[in-house]
Amino acid sequence: MKQVQALKTLVELDHVTRRFDGRAAIQDVSLAVYRGEVVSLMGPNGAGKSTVLKLVLGLDRPDEGRVTLTPDMVIGYMPQRISIDPLFPLSVERFIRLRPGVSRADVRIAAERVGVTALLDSLMGTLSGGQLQRVLLARAIVRKPDLLVLDEPVQGVDVTGQVELYELIGRLRAEFDCGVLMVSHDLHLVMAATDRVICLNGHICCSGEPQAITSDPAYRALFGDDARLALYTHAHDHVHDEMCGADTGKGQET
């Protein structure tokens, strides 16, 4: 893990509380994301992960505490899911260009980075789960973000596709030297793809490096027996064709 103390703070929540109908969705939450690191925000459904995202994205304001973002920072956001009618005439290229100030050249560069160049003329509503997630990621990086915010980035993707997406996210982090805030409630694979984990359940239960946090009593209390999946790793020496799902070599899991 990088020494985050020497890195630039991109976003910081300082003792933040947000209430809805008198009930605290999150309470006294303090966290920061630094340039060059991947932070995974984990917790069960209803833990307040979406609330934190909205605060980071500027879509909501806290009732108490403060949210500070680096001025003029470019944020790339990948939503958990979108639903588009298969007959709606929206191509992948046009979808990515819905972001203001994005040219066709920008789209092609982003598409090439995530491996969806061949899909640019396809309709959004016809994409498979894995293809859709890569297109959403292309749209998130098209403006070369300082901070990449990913909400369940492997939603609807099989295990092999999840591994490849997490590896891709790691490469993009290195290429842009951006910070990554990745939200998930799944332990499988995500722990091996992150520098720092923050466990949330209305408040921050525990935080730290993946190898250290799995022994934290608060972590085990939050995730129970599923915690044993946290450090699952996967290695393979083959390449998957995004268009047809072909496997061009032998693989192994460890």
Q: Is the pLDDT of residue 236 over 70?
A: no
How crowded is residue 79: how many other Cβ atoms within 10 Å of its Cβ? 15
- Has this prediction a pTM greater than 0.95? no
pLDDT in tens, 37-65: 999 999 988 999 999 999 999 999 999 99
C-beta separation of 146 from 178 below 8 A: yes
Report how far residue 242's alpha carbon sits from residue 121's, in angstroms, rounded to the nearest whole number.
Answer: 15
* Cα(116)–Cα(134) distance, integer angstroms: 7
pLDDT band with cut points at 50, 70 and 90 for residue 202: very high
Contact 165, 154 (CB under 8 A): yes
Rg, the chain, Cα only: 18
25 or 252, which is more confident?
A: 25
Banded model confidence at residue 226, pLDDT cuts 50, 70, 90: low
Look at residue 190 and tell me whether its pLDDT is greater than 60.
yes
Q: Which amino acid is at 245?
A: G
Averaged over 161-177, what is the pLDDT? 93
Q: Dump pLDDT digits (tens) for 90-139.
A: 999 999 999 999 999 999 999 999 999 999 999 999 999 999 999 999 99
Name the class of domain 4-74+149-253.
Answer: alpha beta
Under the banding of pLDDT at 50, 70 and 90, the label for residue 166 is very high
Token pair belonging to 84: 């588009």
The pLDDT of residue 10 is: 97
